[in-house]
């Protein structure tokens, strides 16, 4: 390994930091920036996790920029990108101390310091370094980012218990998508008046998703190439390299099958039958995909936790663009992609999401505390062929969970249906999630 001295470390860090010329930090994602900026006055370490390329790094740079604008000296901020190629040979625990020493020697900052350690999972033992400084009472606020949910898990629990504040970054919502596309004026349209323009943008969002750089790319060819590159990086770097997977062909086949079957049930048993992968291996591959935020499994709701886990999970991808990266069957799977999108809208706000089966199925049960609060079905186009079925499942759920109302999210019409003991509200997606 080639030794890197302090001057070399500072030279590389200067590229990423705003110590000299102000860095361009792109379009602000106001909600995330506001919340993370608020956390600068909280002692706990702020963990910021999410899928690769969702915008974590940019958001944290925006937070530092806002803090500087509010009066924090530039020299009191430090951003370290552990995907920087020049740092690759140096990624040992002691290198974190070398970085901090070089920074402190260069600037001798007085007062509070904001430090961002970006994609820190590449440095084994990083949590010991952070805990040491945290427990010594140093005037340092840490923001830790990573593309692995293990940042929040028991893996680091012993070192950071009681010392973390968690944040999850998603790709752009449709509302954010309109802001990035400079189409905010569409937010002011009524659904009736603005439907054609709004639906046009929505179809683009449905096809290519909400990864910021994909949204900002003008050409379809560039969008598709970025999505394929992102998908490959997630599979090869975040999963295969991180977990040292040897059977490359089998795991790639498995993930294509998983991603192209969104809003459908998954089980290790099914993977064993259809892909000739053992159940333990399939379950392990599934957990890898969840850990890097590629997919999320939704459990069947049951008051028994064991029964929940004994049933297949429904699978959703973290962004519809991921589906587009590996499948060209957009039109025939429009309903499932739409359901996936509605799942993401709820997932940004609610963690406890389940599906449910009686005689019919309900797509989503949303739980708050110990109580089911909402029952929701999703249907791209509600018509005579599916209306009765969609309503029947909700009626069962309303009786089972003592709900006075249930909902159907669709892209067609809006209506309120009175039923025994309550009502079922049919809502247009644009009205529900754009606040119309």
pLDDT at 233: 95
pLDDT at 193: 54
* Closest C-alpha to 266, from 276, 253, 279: 279
Cβ atoms 238, 291 nearer than 8 A: no
pLDDT at 156: 58
| Cβ-proximal residues to 175 (8 Å cutoff; 6+ apart), any chain | 187, 433, 434
Pick left, alpha or beta for residue 423 (phi over 0 → left; psi -120 to 50 → alpha; otherwise beta).
beta
Burial of 341 (0-12, 13-18, 19+ CB in 10 A): buried
| DSSP annotation of 22 | P
Residues 10, 11, 16, 22, Cα dihedral to 10°: 100
pLDDT at 190: 55
Look up the pTM and report it.
0.93
pLDDT at 424: 97
Q: Say how far residue 360 (Cα) sits from the centre of its chain.
A: 30
Structure tokens at 381: 């186009």
pLDDT at 179: 95
CB atoms < 10 A from the CB of 251, how many?
22
Cβ atoms 210, 234 nearer than 8 A: no
* Closest C-alpha to 197, from 430, 8, 372, 408: 430
CA distance 120 to 196: 44
| Cβ-proximal residues to 111 (8 Å cutoff; 6+ apart), any chain | 73, 76, 139
**CATH 3.40.50.300 segments of the chain:** 6-168
CA distance 209 to 256: 18
Q: What are the φ/ψ torsions at residue 102 (nearest 5 degrees)?
A: -65, -45
| Cβ-proximal residues to 133 (8 Å cutoff; 6+ apart), any chain | 100, 140, 142
pLDDT at 154: 47
The whole-number mean pLDDT for each consecutive block of 10 residues of the chain, a chain of 436 residues, reads 85 93 90 97 92 96 96 97 91 93 96 95 88 86 88 59 86 96 82 73 96 97 97 94 90 95 89 89 95 95 86 95 90 92 94 93 94 96 93 96 97 90 93 77
CB atoms < 10 A from the CB of 336, how many?
19
CA distance 31 to 95: 33
What is the topology classification, in CATH, of domain 6-168?
Rossmann fold (3.40.50)
Structure tokens at 29: 């994602």
């Amino acid at each position: 390994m080639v030794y890197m001295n302090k001057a070399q470390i500072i030279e590389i860090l200067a590229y990423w930091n705003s110590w000299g010329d102000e860095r361009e930090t792109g379009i602000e994602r106001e909600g995330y920036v506001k919340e993370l900026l608020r956390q600068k006055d909280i002692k706990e370490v702020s963990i910021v996790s999410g899928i690769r390329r969702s915008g974590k790094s940019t958001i944290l740079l925006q937070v530092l920029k806002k803090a500087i604008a509010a009066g924090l000296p530039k020299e009191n901020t430090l951003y370290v990108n552990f995907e920087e190629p020049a740092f690759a040979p140096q990624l040992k625990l002691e290198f974190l101390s070398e970085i901090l020493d070089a920074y402190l020697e260069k600037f001798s900052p007085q007062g509070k310091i904001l430090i961002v350690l970006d994609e820190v999972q590449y440095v084994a033992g990083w949590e010991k370094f952070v805990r040491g400084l945290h427990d010594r009472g140093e005037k340092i606020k840490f923001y830790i980012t990573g593309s692995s949910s293990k940042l929040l898990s028991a893996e680091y629990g012993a070192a950071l218990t009681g010392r973390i504040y968690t944040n999850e970054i998603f790709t752009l919502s449709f509302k954010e998508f309109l802001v990035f596309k400079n189409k905010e004026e569409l937010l002011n349209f009524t659904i009736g008046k603005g439907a054609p323009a709004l639906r046009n943008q929505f179809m683009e969002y449905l096809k290519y998703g909400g990864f910021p750089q994909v949204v900002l790319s003008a050409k379809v060819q560039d969008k598709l190439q970025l999505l394929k590159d992102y998908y490959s990086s997630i599979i090869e770097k975040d999963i295969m390299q991180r977990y040292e997977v040897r059977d490359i062909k089998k795991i790639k086949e498995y993930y294509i099958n998983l991603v192209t079957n969104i809003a459908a049930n998954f089980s290790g048993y099914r993977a064993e039958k259809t892909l000739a992968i053992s159940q333990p291996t399939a379950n392990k591959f599934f957990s890898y995909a969840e850990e890097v935020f590629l997919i999320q499994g939704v459990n069947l709701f049951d008051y028994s936790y064991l029964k929940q886990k004994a049933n297949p999970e429904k699978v959703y991808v973290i962004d519809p663009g991921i589906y587009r990266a590996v499948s060209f069957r957009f039109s025939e799977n429009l309903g499932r992609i739409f359901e996936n999108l509605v799942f993401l809208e709820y997932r940004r706000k609610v963690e406890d999401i389940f599906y449910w089966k009686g005689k019919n199925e309900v797509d989503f049960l949303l739980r708050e505390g110990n109580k089911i609060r909402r029952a929701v079905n999703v249907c791209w186009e509600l018509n005579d062929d599916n209306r009765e079925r969609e309503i029947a499942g909700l009626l069962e759920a309303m009786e089972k969970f003592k709900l006075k109302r249930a909902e159907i999210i669709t892209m067609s019409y809006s209506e309120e249906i009175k039923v025994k003991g309550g009502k079922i509200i049919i809502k247009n997606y644009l009205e529900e999630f754009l606040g119309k």
